[in-house]
Amino acid sequence: MKLKIKFTAFVASSIDGKIAKDNKTFVDWTSKEDWDFFQKSLAKFDVVVVGHNTYKIYKKRLNKRNTIVFTSKATNLKTQGSVIFLNPRYVSILDLIRKTKYKKIAILGGPKVYAYFLENKMLNEIFVTIEPIIFTAGVSMLSGKKFKKYNFILRSIKRLNKKGTLLLKYKK
């Protein structure tokens, strides 16, 4: 039996859809309950995919995992320990995933990486954690090529704590 490859995005957001102050700053405003969920979830995945900015911020942790880093600076695939760097313009991530036999892929952002998988029809489900905060500015959750309607279905709702951190699961 051939197991299907499954792409799952994990996003932690404010009420107003912001995921970070800028593309260099560590996210320190998510709740402990979300962190616990996130760490427990990641244990079930074969590999994580991040953009180069996200990689730079969380390098130490990501170097310990099977990680694929999207970068616009390379043309050829480059491997460093458990980390693979690739430019999706030149190297097919799907070919790479098939070759490595990874089945469960966690997409951890940032905005362009989430949009890449959505626009290329490689996004099966999304876990969105909404912290009860408004930032009014910052980095938007997704940064796609154009305004387009991608429909999802809400599969589950979980309130993670008293102040109201929400964990939402959406499927394509």
Contacts with its own copies by CB under 8 A lie at 13-18, 21-22, 29, 115, 118-119, 126, 128, 130, 132-138, 140-155, 157, 159, 163-166, 168, 170
Q: End-to-end CA distance of the chain: give it in Å, rounded.
A: 23
Q: Report how far residue 32's alpha carbon sits from residue 45's, in angstroms, rounded to the nearest whole number.
A: 21
Cβ 66 to its own copies, closest distance in Å?
26
Nearer residue to its own copies within complex by CB, 73 or 146: 146
Cβ 26 to its own copies, closest distance in Å?
14
Nearer residue to its own copies within complex by CB, 3 or 153: 153
Nearer residue to its own copies within complex by CB, 1 or 153: 153
SS3 77: coil
Cβ within 8 Å of residue 88, ≥6 positions away = 70, 116
Cβ 14 to its own copies, closest distance in Å?
8
Nearer residue to its own copies within complex by CB, 77 or 134: 134
Cβ 46 to its own copies, closest distance in Å?
24
Burial letters for 73-88: b for 16+ Cβ neighbours within 10 Å, e otherwise? ebeeeeeeeebbbbbb
Measuring CA to CA, which residue among 90, 87, 88, 50 is closest to residue 66? 50
φ, ψ of residue 94 to 5 degrees: the values are -65, -45
